Amino acid sequence: MAITFDPVNKWIILPNVTSISAQEIYNEVAEWSETQEGMDNDVPILSTGYAPLGSGVYTDKIFILNGGWKLKPYSGTYTLTIIGTIITDDESAREVPPDSGTVHIVYQVTSQGIVSVQGSGITQQDKVDIADLVETQTGLPIKVKTEIIELHHIGRVKLEGCYMLIYNEEEELVAKYELVKDSNERIIERIPQEVS
């Protein structure tokens, strides 16, 4: 089953899968945007990023839900993992609920991007510096506030030593990452670890 579109409600309706990448969603959006129906509407997702960091390393691709478009998961009760960075252009929720059931959505970032959580030890100046660097490298303005970045898809994040632990709303450990820091103690990479 393919991704479908509801331009009246501005929904990108995801197929019956438990995992999908932001790039796959973007590719389907690009194809739909070239159809007659798609041309009559705002482009649902824009992308930015992939700026060179040197030595063949690039920044994240960031996919931006545009003009009020939202992701709508397929009906059912399951966990849906979306691999990649998806944000909105207006700081609203990225998704709407399914027609029936309960879908727990986990956004899994796959690159060397820095994750900043309120209370994580990253200073406000670090956040401003990161935003400025991304704007300089991509030439595009950052529309996301950098004061507080919330993870809406999870119940709780805990920093423990050199690990970031992610819990769901039932307080079950759902993801574990080793945090790699540079000489200034800034987090520069997350390495996924096996959850036991």
pLDDT beyond 80 at 36: yes
Which tokens in the block code for residue 138? 């991509």
Is 174 among the domain residues? no
CB count in 10 Å sphere of residue 190? 21
Q: Residues 75-117: pLDDT tens digits?
A: 999 999 998 889 999 989 999 999 999 999 998 875 544 443 4
Q: How far apart are CA 22 and CA 62, in angstroms?
A: 9
CB count in 10 Å sphere of residue 29? 22
Is 131 among the domain residues? no
Short-list 42, 84, 30, CA closest to 66: 42
Is 80 among the domain residues? yes
Short-list 104, 141, 146, CA closest to 123: 146
Is 78 among the domain residues? yes
Q: How far apart are CA 66 and CA 176, in angstroms?
A: 31
CA dist list (Å): 136 to 49, 82, 86, 125, 168: 11, 28, 20, 16, 35
3-state secondary structure of 70: strand
Is 150 among the domain residues? no
Q: What percent of the chain has pLDDT over 70?
A: 79
Short-list 87, 78, 144, 156, CA closest to 118: 156
Q: For residue 8, what are the domain limits?
A: 4-113
- How many independent structural domains does the chain possess? 1
Amino acid symbol at 145:
K
Q: Residues 110-157: pLDDT tens digits?
A: 554 444 344 445 666 766 777 677 666 666 655 544 333 444 445 577
**What residue spans of the chain are helical by DSSP H?**
22-33, 36-39, 124-138
Is 71 among the domain residues? yes
Q: How far apart are CA 78 and CA 36, in angstroms?
A: 34
Is 137 among the domain residues? no
Is 19 among the domain residues? yes
**Does the pTM of the predicted model rise above 0.85?**
no
Which tokens in the block code for residue 52? 């060179």
The predicted structure's pLDDT at residue 158: 76
3-state secondary structure of 163: strand
